[in-house]
Structure 1
């Protein structure tokens, strides 16, 4: 959804007042800070019916907000861990969703969705996880670990199926089972400063 907010300035100004830190457990290659409560409340109210209708969420399930962050990519390609160099999924639950709002002005790298070449999977649910994991590990055992870079193009291991280009004030909502990756451009996107970096709002929710 484009042109989501009528005025992004308050959200941008709040980000400049926040203290950004590196997540201790998350695989995110950067720093994060809490989003304003009013923003997350208003946003979730606005998209609730869209998500429940489009994805046919069972009516007895309730929405639970899990995490809500400002995010900035700050890790140089040569410092990425192995799992940060390949597309990933967020969760195995069919009712887990990621919401991303591009906040900073562009141009920036967007977001890519991928298919895993050896297994043919584009989304990883509980029944596919062990097959996907074994297939990915076997591929890397034979061909070597992925190079020290953000994956922004197709190769034999992962194939891009869709890209969502970066545009300020664009919102994306997608199932957490989908394989995806930020199409990070080291020249424009690696910056921990909320005034100049690739600032996004990231929310994670689950119906249960």
Structure 2
């Protein structure tokens, strides 16, 4: 990861608080860091001035703007010890920033394709992490974590990915005796997935979790589908892998 530049546009709060949640039957550790930035308004203002467009490389149901690598580095550097101590990253591995984004949800439920209506995982690789910073102050949906009922999987590792995808495809094809396709965002438990935990949207909260943990935004249709950075469900979606 590149070194942090001497002058950054925001300041880490020296008094931030850290909680560790153990998610599901696998007790996957997730870091929840409250009051992370001392001047979060600076980052919000930066995000409000960006140009946003649809991310055609992923199934993200909205628009995004890239975050500069120096900003990603500055945000992650202060919490690196947590990756090694709590998230069990081997000490010999070093962090590398992946493309990261300011993000806003804009798609209406009826506009979603099938894969956008179920929880997802970012990758099956073991030391790839998502760091999600909630930026705005308004009421918005949080982040949910799920178990796939047919396979009982919560984390989609390299050894599980093929069987998981085959099971999901069978559900979409109706091969399990039911039509599993549903319209809209996944915001709770249903026949295919159990909501096992969630972290509310609270301004200035940083949530760090393994990218192979099944997760989904718990979209509030009344407040979250909004293209405006000032009032929408604005997040900084940061991705880091240890190699």
TM-score norm. by structure 2 comes to 0.83
Q: CA RMSD in A?
A: 1.2
Match of 1:149 in 2: 184
- Partner Cα separation in structure 2 for residue 41 and residue 130 of structure 1: 33
Residue ranges of structure 2 left out of the alignment (5+ in a row): 1-32
Q: Is the 8 A contact 2:62 2:103 kept in 1?
A: yes
Match of 1:59 in 2: 91
Match of 1:191 in 2: 226
- Which of 181, 195, 220 is the equivalent residue of 1:160? 195
Moved over 6 A (4+): none
Match of 2:30 in 1: none
Q: Is the 8 A contact 1:82 1:145 kept in 2?
A: no
Match of 1:96 in 2: 128
Greater relative contact order: 1 or 2 (C-alpha under 8 angstroms, separation 6 or more)?
1
Match of 2:210 in 1: 175
Q: Which has the higher helix share?
A: 1
TM-score norm. by structure 1 comes to 0.96
Match of 1:19 in 2: 51
Equivalenced residue count is: 208
- Partner Cα separation in structure 2 for residue 46 and residue 150 of structure 1: 34
Correspondence 1:6-155 to 2 at 5 A: 6-142=38-174, 143-155=178-190
- Partner Cα separation in structure 2 for residue 78 and residue 145 of structure 1: 16
Q: Secondary structure at the match of 2:132?
A: strand
